[in-house]
């Protein structure tokens, strides 16, 4: 669905229509590099899909470039554009589990921004850049972990009783 960012009014209830061929479990979307596409993480298909920003038409797989590669990303959920305009993708399963993978503006894998299990991270669900650091919710580590702009662990912002998922920052900075 597309919403007016000023009013929250629904603009298009079917902006990216049902797409069972390319989307199984879409979790997160954002405007991609260059501002002309929408990137959508798919938890089950294990890729970041790309759609046209103006029409919602399917363009293709964005990350990893070259298509599905479970040695890089598996059981993905949250995605965000970093302070350096790279794409950060949470990795909850597979051989690269418990990390935040990083991709360039063409979807090429650059390595892990946050290393596997850094700071006790377990099955990351979402990642948020606060303007000074990154917050990552770990559903198996039951915490909101803090990392600096190089991806190094700082500390835990907070423990969470069970299954922290989406993270957002309020207008007052909290």
Q: What are the tens digits of pLDDT across the range 72-126? A: 999 999 999 999 999 999 999 999 999 999 999 999 999 999 999 999 999 999 9
Please check the confidence at residue 174 and state whether its pLDDT lies above 90. no
What fold characterizes domain 21-159? Answer: Methylamine Dehydrogenase; Chain H (2.130.10)
Give the residue extent of every domain in the chain.
21-159
φ/ψ region of 119 (left if φ > 0, alpha if ψ in -120 to 50, else beta) reads: left
Residue 75's contacts (CB-CB under 8 Å, 6 or more residues apart) are 43, 46, 91, 92, 93, 94, 97, 123
Kindly indicate the confidence band of residue 161, based on its pLDDT and cuts at 50, 70 and 90. confident
Q: What is the pLDDT at residue 70? A: 97
* pTM listed for this prediction: 0.94
């Amino acid at each position: 669905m597309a919403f007016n960012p000023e009013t929250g009014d629904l603009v298009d209830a079917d902006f990216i229509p049902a797409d069972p061929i390319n989307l199984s479990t879409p979790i997160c979307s954002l405007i991609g590099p260059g501002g002309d596409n929408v990137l959508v993480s798919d938890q089950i298909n294990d890729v970041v899909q790309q759609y046209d920003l103006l029409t919602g038409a399917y363009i293709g797989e964005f990350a990893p470039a070259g298509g599905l590669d479970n040695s890089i990303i598996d059981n993905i959920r949250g995605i965000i554009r970093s302070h350096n305009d790279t794409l950060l993708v949470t990795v909850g399963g597979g051989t690269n589990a418990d990390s935040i993978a990083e991709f360039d503006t063409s979807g090429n894998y650059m390595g892990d921004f946050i290393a596997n299990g850094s700071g006790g991270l377990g099955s990351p669900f979402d990642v948020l850049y606060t303007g000074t650091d990154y917050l990552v919710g770990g559903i198996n580590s039951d915490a909101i972990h803090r990392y600096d702009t190089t991806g190094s662990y700082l500390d835990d912002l907070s423990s969470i009783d069970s299954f922290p998922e989406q993270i957002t920052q309020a207008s007052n900075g909290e």
